[in-house]
């Protein structure tokens, strides 16, 4: 690209060299170009920065005479600053040594001729036109206005703006004062967040980078500009920058201002409202109009779109153009469409290859960067301006318009480091730290920027019912805290309409929600001090009324109380052991018990011993039940077996034997075959005992009965019916499946029980002649009645039971479900007498009868004794009363 080309920064097309506007897009060409007319570094030695001096000194170049003149005119304050800078530089010698070791100690070997080379090469890479001090191009008429003195004056003003609270809303800028009379503030001298050592580190590594580029052109240096570092110190850096500007340049050893621009990238998320250090070359006596307008720009309160405080060097003279190209690299990822500043073409004859590669890499990875024609920005301020701006006046364009254009890329751009460039380890760590810090700060800022959505349901707000107006009033009374110490003293600013329109959030919402106000607050005290968005509990507490107090006392009526007491007594009584009330008896309890037992035993035993076994009992008259039972027994079909169910326990063996022996004897006399089954495990054994006793008793009267009624041939014991009453259903339906083992059957042939001659023709219950149930339990009798009786299909169900069960089974007799029932010793003996079988001895009947009498006497005597005792106790109580 030749110098004759006048390429449009907007459309990139070539224009005639003499054209002031682009013939294609009518964009302004001259104000943004004119690198040849820029004031070359011909400023006096007083304006020459120390870093340049030191650079020349390192390169072996003798300072110019003008510079020497400037040294002679060095004021005292500059000496103090230099001394201070020297002290700071010594404190960071260790870091610098490390950086130097990494980058190589190349600067010492750099010659003065080399300076020209490396500067030219670097300019060529960055597209900055080569500038030659020997051939200064005359500045234009407008640029001449921005002399070095004017620049210094602007720096002074900006430093005061950054260091002092200024009511910018009033539109009255602080009066510019000379640096000698107004020493820099403490904040300006000592930035609160950035130490001098840190800034010196940056200067050193950048300087080393320069040296490395000169000495080792073939070595490709990869680095990234740690822009995030300055995000935490916008005002501190600004103040420092301007403070140095007052002195006419940084002290020796400190980084130059143009280098600081790389680190002094202000935070994006929380843009300060302070005016930008838009330095301009203005003379100390006169402030150009455009700068005056700039000074009068009110601060942007909470302006998220504040322009980047890329603390540009004072003028183009102080900042080498090749480094400006680095500054002018816009945020690549966030603002791909951001216009790029015009890059100067490079004369390729002096540019080393490594710089060319670096430039290509740099430009190729930044899509917004386009090679620019040979254009040298007038000033860093001009570089900040979008090239799309059309201001024929160039630098003197209105500040409002400038801010509009400058804010625009700021809204979309972020201070992200240049991507795509490989970082060395230490730079990567540095960048990570910066990113972490930024992320931490963004964690709060994001909350601040996310007001509670109005679409959320009311339930999601815990304090939805709070009076919003009242909260808003309180919030208004609370001074807003931006978290920046430098702005605490600033009065709330009023934004002009045009600037408010630039705030997208407020433009849409219109009114800041209360929640945002709360979230912007910073807790001052307590364990949450320093945190944002803490709910102001101290104010909310007074918003609430005291909650209504509900009584926990339960209202209970008298009736309910009585019920509670009764229930409580019942529950308590359940847990207490029942106290045995001691009976007030005249005789010992054990003696009484023995006496009654002996009386009963004697009453029972005496008839057994005295009565003759052959005496037939008298006085036994069979009742209706016995007669009905006897009649049913006579109706039994003789050629069919009778199912004999023995379901009583051993304890009732005596009673059951007295009651059932006569019935069994009657069946034996009738040659009735018997099939025995039981739901009680001991039932089969008791059945065998019952049969043997009956046969023995019968044999005593009629000896031939033993031969005529052989138990193995006439009876079969089907055995135990497992499952209790549950198995009765199966037995009633499938008798052969329910029982098949049989008691005393042949091992290994359990099925033979149904092959017995007694039951070989039995396939169902109705095949039996009838069912004789001998039981002592109500449940067993009821189960047989309920489950089996329907399966008998009209066959009689006869029951022999105990005296204690008979009252419970009588209803079944009345209903006809039981065809006949006898019970106890009385029923058995009555049946014996009615059936004509050998009766039991009269002794048993007598014993039973006498025993019943004695028992009745005991009960009656007990009732009488108790009644008499109660009567006497009542009388005694009345007597004592």
Partner 1 sequence: MMQGDLIWTLVGFILTLLVFSYLFGDNVLFRLAVYVFVGVTSGYVVVLLVDQVLVPRLVTPLMQGSIEQRLLLVIPLILSILLVTKLFPRLAAFGNLSLGVMVGIGAAVIVGGALQGTLASQITAAVTDFNLQSGVLKGRDPVLKLIEALILLVGTISTLVYFQFGATAKPNQPPRRPRWVEMLAGMGQIFIGITLGSLFAGVFAAALTALIDRLDFITLVIYDILF
Within residues 284-343, the interface with partner 1 by CB under 8 A covers none
- Tell how strand 674-678 and strand 642-647 pair up: parallel
- Report the nearest approach of partner 1 to the CB of residue 832 (Å): 15
- Report the nearest approach of partner 1 to the CB of residue 754 (Å): 12
- Report the distance separating Cα 631 and Cα 633, nearest Å: 5
Q: Which is nearer to partner 1, 509 or 605 (by Cβ)?
A: 605
855 is a contact residue toward partner 1 (CB under 8 A): yes
- The CA-based angle 252-255-261, given to 5 degrees, is 150
Among 423, 669, 741, 791, binds partner 1 (CB under 8 A): 741
- Is-contact 127 343, C-beta < 8 A? yes
Within residues 522-551, the interface with partner 1 by CB under 8 A covers none
Give the DSSP letter of residue 532. B
Query: Considering only 126-134, 237-245, 587-595, 633-641, which stretch makes contact with partner 1 by CB under 8 A?
Result: 587-595
Among 258, 444, 768, 848, binds partner 1 (CB under 8 A): 848
Q: Other C-beta atoms within 10 Å of 230: how many? A: 28
740 is a contact residue toward partner 1 (CB under 8 A): yes
Instruction: Give phi and psi for 183, each to the nearest 5.
Output: -65, 150
Query: Considering only 186-194, 204-212, 243-251, 740-748, which stretch makes contact with partner 1 by CB under 8 A?
Result: 740-748
582 is a contact residue toward partner 1 (CB under 8 A): no
- Report the nearest approach of partner 1 to the CB of residue 684 (Å): 8
Burial tier of 686 (Cβ tally within 10 Å: 0-12, 13-18, 19+): buried
- Report the nearest approach of partner 1 to the CB of residue 768 (Å): 19
- Tell how strand 797-801 and strand 820-823 pair up: parallel
- Measured in whole angstroms, the distance separating CA 712 from the mean position of its chain's CA atoms is 82
847 is a contact residue toward partner 1 (CB under 8 A): yes
Helices (H), 792-841: 806-814, 824-835
Give the DSSP letter of residue 766. G
Instruction: Give phi and psi for 366, each to the nearest 5.
Output: -120, 100
- Report the distance separating Cα 380 and Cα 313, nearest Å: 6
- Report the nearest approach of partner 1 to the CB of residue 703 (Å): 19
- Is-contact 580 807, C-beta < 8 A? no
Among 358, 499, 743, 800, binds partner 1 (CB under 8 A): 743
851 is a contact residue toward partner 1 (CB under 8 A): yes
614 is a contact residue toward partner 1 (CB under 8 A): no
578 is a contact residue toward partner 1 (CB under 8 A): no
- Report the nearest approach of partner 1 to the CB of residue 621 (Å): 17
Query: Considering only 152-160, 295-303, 689-697, 821-829, which stretch makes contact with partner 1 by CB under 8 A?
Result: 821-829
- Is-contact 168 299, C-beta < 8 A? yes
3-state secondary structure at position 717: strand
Q: At what angle do helices 589-610 and 842-880 cross, to 10 degrees?
A: 160
816 is a contact residue toward partner 1 (CB under 8 A): yes
Within residues 362-401, the interface with partner 1 by CB under 8 A covers none
753-770: b (≥16 Cβ within 10 Å) or e: bbebebbeebeebeebbb
Q: Which is nearer to partner 1, 543 or 595 (by Cβ)?
A: 595
Within residues 661-720, the interface with partner 1 by CB under 8 A covers 681-682, 685, 719-720
Query: Considering only 64-72, 216-224, 519-527, 604-612, which stretch makes contact with partner 1 by CB under 8 A?
Result: 604-612
- Report the nearest approach of partner 1 to the CB of residue 667 (Å): 22
- Report the distance separating Cα 443 and Cα 59, nearest Å: 47
- Report the distance separating Cα 377 and Cα 385, nearest Å: 10
Q: What is the dihedral of CA 696, 697, 703, 706, to 10 degrees?
A: -40
Query: Considering only 456-464, 487-495, 545-553, 599-607, which stretch makes contact with partner 1 by CB under 8 A?
Result: 599-607
Query: Considering only 60-68, 131-139, 634-642, 818-826, which stretch makes contact with partner 1 by CB under 8 A?
Result: 818-826
- Report the distance separating Cα 284 and Cα 156, nearest Å: 9
866 is a contact residue toward partner 1 (CB under 8 A): no
Among 484, 522, 604, 616, binds partner 1 (CB under 8 A): 604
- Is-contact 830 822, C-beta < 8 A? yes
- Report the nearest approach of partner 1 to the CB of residue 547 (Å): 38
Within residues 750-789, the interface with partner 1 by CB under 8 A covers 750, 776, 782-783, 785-787, 789
818 is a contact residue toward partner 1 (CB under 8 A): no
Assigned token pair, 316: 């183009």
- Report the distance separating Cα 852 and Cα 850, nearest Å: 5
Residue 337 makes CB contacts below 8 A (sequence gap 6+) with 368
- Report the distance separating Cα 694 and Cα 664, nearest Å: 6
Helices (H), 460-588: 468-477, 497-500, 504-509, 514-520, 537-541, 558-575
Assigned token pair, 630: 């006897």
Query: Considering only 272-280, 281-289, 454-462, 797-805, which stretch makes contact with partner 1 by CB under 8 A?
Result: 797-805
Among 3, 356, 535, 600, binds partner 1 (CB under 8 A): 600
653 is a contact residue toward partner 1 (CB under 8 A): yes
User: How many angstroms separate the first and last alpha carbons of the chain?
Assistant: 137
Among 553, 559, 582, 878, binds partner 1 (CB under 8 A): 559
Query: Considering only 2-10, 510-518, 527-535, 816-824, which stretch makes contact with partner 1 by CB under 8 A?
Result: 816-824
588 is a contact residue toward partner 1 (CB under 8 A): no
- Report the distance separating Cα 740 and Cα 720, nearest Å: 9
605 is a contact residue toward partner 1 (CB under 8 A): yes
> Which residues make beta-bridge pairs with 44?
none
Among 556, 594, 757, 863, binds partner 1 (CB under 8 A): 594
852 is a contact residue toward partner 1 (CB under 8 A): yes
Among 582, 651, 880, 881, binds partner 1 (CB under 8 A): 651
Query: Considering only 8-16, 414-422, 580-588, 809-817, which stretch makes contact with partner 1 by CB under 8 A?
Result: 809-817
628-647: b (≥16 Cβ within 10 Å) or e: bbbebbeebeeebbbbbbbb
Q: Which is nearer to partner 1, 716 or 728 (by Cβ)?
A: 728
- Say how many residues touch partner 1, by CB under 8 A: 66
Among 182, 224, 804, 869, binds partner 1 (CB under 8 A): 804
- Report the distance separating Cα 734 and Cα 788, nearest Å: 11
CA distances 98 to 13, 94, 104, 208, 256, Å, are 47, 6, 10, 11, 20
825 is a contact residue toward partner 1 (CB under 8 A): yes
609 is a contact residue toward partner 1 (CB under 8 A): yes
Binding interface with partner 1 (CB under 8 A)? 559, 590, 593-594, 597, 600-601, 604-605, 608-609, 650-655, 657-658, 681-682, 685, 719-720, 722, 725-726, 728-729, 740-743, 748, 750, 776, 782-783, 785-787, 789-790, 802-808, 811-812, 814-817, 823-826, 844, 847-848, 851-852, 855
């Amino acid at each position: 690209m030749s110098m004759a080309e006048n390429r449009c920064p907007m459309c990139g097309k070539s224009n005639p060299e003499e054209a002031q506007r682009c013939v294609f897009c009518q964009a302004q060409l001259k104000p943004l170009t004119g690198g040849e007319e820029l004031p070359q570094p011909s400023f006096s030695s007083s304006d020459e920065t120390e870093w340049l001096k030191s650079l020349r000194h390192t390169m072996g170049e003798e300072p110019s005479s003008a510079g020497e003149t400037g040294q002679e005119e060095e004021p005292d304050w500059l000496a103090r600053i230099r001394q201070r800078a020297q002290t700071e530089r010594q404190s960071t010698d260790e870091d610098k040594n490390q950086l130097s070791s990494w980058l190589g100690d190349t600067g010492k070997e750099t010659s003065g001729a080399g300076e020209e080379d490396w500067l030219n090469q670097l300019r060529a890479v960055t597209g900055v036109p080569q500038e030659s001090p020997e051939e200064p191009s005359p500045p234009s008429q407008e640029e001449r206005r921005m002399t070095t003195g004017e620049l210094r004056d602007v720096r002074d003003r900006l430093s005061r703006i950054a260091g002092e609270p200024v009511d910018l809303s009033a539109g009255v800028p602080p009066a510019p004062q000379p640096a000698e009379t107004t020493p820099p503030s403490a904040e300006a001298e000592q930035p609160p967040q950035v130490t001098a050592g840190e800034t010196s580190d940056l200067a050193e590594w950048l300087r080393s980078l320069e040296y490395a580029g000169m000495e080792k052109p073939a070595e490709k240096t990869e680095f990234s500009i740690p822009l995030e570092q300055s995000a935490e110190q916008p005002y501190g850096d600004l103040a420092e920058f301007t403070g140095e500007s007052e002195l006419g340049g940084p002290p020796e050893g400190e980084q130059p201002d143009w280098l600081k621009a790389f680190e002094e990238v202000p935070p994006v998320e929380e843009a300060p409202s302070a005016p930008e250090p838009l330095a301009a070359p203005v003379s100390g006596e006169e402030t150009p109009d455009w700068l005056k307008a700039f000074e009068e720009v009110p601060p942007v309160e909470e302006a998220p779109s504040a322009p980047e405080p890329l603390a540009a060097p004072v003028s183009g003279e102080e900042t080498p153009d090749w480094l400006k190209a680095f500054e002018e690299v816009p945020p690549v990822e966030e603002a791909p469409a951001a216009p790029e500043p015009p890059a100067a073409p490079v004369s390729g004859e002096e540019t080393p290859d490594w710089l060319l590669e670096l430039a290509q890499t740099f430009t190729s990875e930044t899509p917004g960067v386009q090679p620019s024609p040979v254009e040298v920005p007038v000033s860093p301020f001009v570089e900040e301006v979008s090239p799309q701006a059309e201001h024929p006046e160039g630098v003197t364009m209105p500040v409002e318009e400038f801010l509009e254009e400058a804010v625009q890329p700021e809204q979309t751009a972020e201070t992200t480091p240049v991507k795509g460039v490989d970082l060395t380890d230490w730079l990567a760590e540095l960048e990570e730290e910066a990113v972490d810090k930024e992320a931490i700060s963004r964690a709060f800022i994001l909350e601040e920027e996310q007001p509670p959505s109005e679409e959320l349901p009311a339930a999601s707000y815990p304090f939805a019912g709070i009076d919003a107006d009242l909260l808003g009033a309180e919030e208004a009374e609370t001074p807003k805290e931006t978290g920046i110490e430098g702005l605490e003293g600033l009065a709330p600013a009023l934004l002009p309409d045009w600037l408010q329109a630039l705030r997208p959030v407020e433009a849409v919402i219109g009114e800041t929600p209360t929640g945002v106000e709360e979230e912007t607050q910073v807790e001052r005290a307590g364990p949450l001090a320093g945190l944002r968005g803490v709910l102001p509990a101290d104010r909310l507490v007074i918003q609430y009324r005291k909650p209504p107090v509900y009584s926990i006392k339960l209202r209970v009526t008298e009736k309910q109380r009585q019920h509670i007491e009764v229930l409580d007594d019942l529950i308590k009584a359940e847990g207490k052991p029942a106290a045995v009330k001691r009976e007030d008896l005249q005789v010992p309890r054990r003696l009484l018990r023995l006496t009654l037992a002996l009386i009963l035993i004697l009453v029972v035993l005496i008839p057994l011993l005295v009565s003759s076994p052959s005496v037939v009992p008298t006085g036994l008259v069979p009742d209706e039940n016995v007669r009905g039972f006897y009649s049913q027994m006579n109706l039994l079909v003789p050629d069919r077996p009778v199912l004999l169910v023995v379901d009583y326990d051993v304890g009732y063996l005596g009673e059951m034997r007295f009651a059932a022996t006569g019935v069994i004897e009657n069946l034996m006399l009738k040659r009735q075959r018997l099939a025995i089954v039981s739901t009680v495990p001991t039932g089969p054994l008791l059945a065998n005992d019952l049969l043997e006793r009956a046969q023995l008793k019968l044999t005593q009267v009629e000896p031939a009965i033993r031969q005529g009624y052989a138990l193995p041939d006439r009876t079969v014991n089907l055995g135990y019916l497992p499952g209790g009453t549950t198995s009765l259903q199966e037995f009633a339906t499938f008798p052969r499946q329910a029982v098949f083992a049989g008691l005393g059957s042949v091992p290994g042939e359990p099925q033979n029980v149904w092959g017995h001659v007694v039951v070989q023709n039995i396939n169902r219950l109705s095949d039996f002649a009838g069912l004789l149930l001998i039981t002592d339990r109500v449940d067993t009798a009821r189960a047989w009645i309920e489950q089996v009786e329907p399966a008998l299909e009209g066959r009689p169900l006869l029951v022999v039971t105990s005296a204690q069960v008979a009252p419970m089974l009588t209803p079944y007799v009345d209903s006809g479900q039981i065809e006949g029932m006898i019970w106890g010793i009385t029923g058995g003996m009555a049946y014996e007498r009615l059936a004509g079988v050998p009766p039991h001895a009269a002794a048993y009947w007598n014993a039973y009868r006498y025993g019943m009498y004695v028992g009745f006497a005991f009960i009656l005597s007990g009732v009488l004794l108790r009644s008499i005792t109660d009567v006497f106790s009542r009388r005694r109580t009345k007597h004592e009363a």
